[in-house]
């Protein structure tokens, strides 16, 4: 059932080669084509799409950030397993070059699929940047500055990825 939600092709550009492509349809008229989201997927479909998306984005960003020497996995977890007010975290063992990123699970995202996937990608890039900077000295005093800087870098990298 169509919800009538229309979005511009520019907004959908990052998803054209993602699992979402199956949820879009081109509608034609005399002007430029637009895309219409047909429906929000069922919970089981939403979970499968998110799991695939997270795995693909982790692989892409691990490559882009030159972290291929690390064994990194991403797990979808309950919000209760994360620090309050966060959507994810990362734990690593530098000696083993292994890391685990925790991303809030699908069932706890009360937002449309595209918004949830955007948040999940942001979380992955953000946490990978923590890993990239892990060799730098850290303190509780510098934590706020580090978070602010990583958020700005994450936004910039994702904008570059999406071409705007």
Query: Which range, 10-19, 20-29, 114-123, 138-147, has the best average confidence (pLDDT)?
Result: 114-123
| Average of per-residue pLDDT values in the chain | 81
Determine whether domain 41-162 maps to CATH 3.30.2010: yes
The secondary structure of 128-149 as a DSSP string is: HHHHHTTTS---HHHHHHHHHH
Contact 65, 129 (CB under 8 A): yes
Q: 59 by DSSP, 3-state: which? A: helix
Phi, psi of 42 (to 5 degrees): -65, 160
Q: In the chain, what are the domain boundaries?
A: 41-162
pLDDT at 20 over 90: no
Q: What is the pLDDT of residues 81-93, one digit of tens each?
A: 999 999 999 999 9
Which of 7 and 122 is assigned the larger pLDDT?
Answer: 122
pLDDT at 75 over 50: yes
Q: What is the pLDDT of residues 78-129, one digit of tens each?
A: 999 999 999 999 999 999 999 999 999 999 999 999 999 999 999 999 999 9
């Amino acid at each position: 059932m169509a919800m009538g939600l229309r979005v511009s092709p520019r907004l959908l550009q990052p998803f054209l080669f993602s699992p979402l492509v199956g949820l879009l349809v081109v509608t034609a008229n005399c002007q430029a084509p637009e895309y219409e989201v047909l429906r929000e997927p069922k919970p089981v479909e939403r979970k499968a799409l998110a799991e695939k998306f997270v795995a693909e984005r982790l692989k892409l960003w691990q490559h882009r950030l030159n972290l291929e020497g690390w064994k990194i996995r991403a797990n979808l977890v309950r919000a209760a397993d994360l620090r309050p007010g966060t959507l994810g975290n990362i734990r690593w063992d530098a000696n083993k070059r292994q890391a685990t990123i925790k991303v809030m699970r699908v069932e706890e995202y009360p937002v449309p699929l595209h918004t949830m996937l955007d948040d999940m990608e942001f979380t992955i890039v953000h946490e990978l940047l923590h890993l990239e900077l892990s060799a730098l000295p850290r303190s509780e005093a510098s934590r706020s500055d580090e978070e602010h800087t990583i958020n700005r870098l994450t936004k910039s990298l994702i904008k570059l990825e999406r071409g705007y």
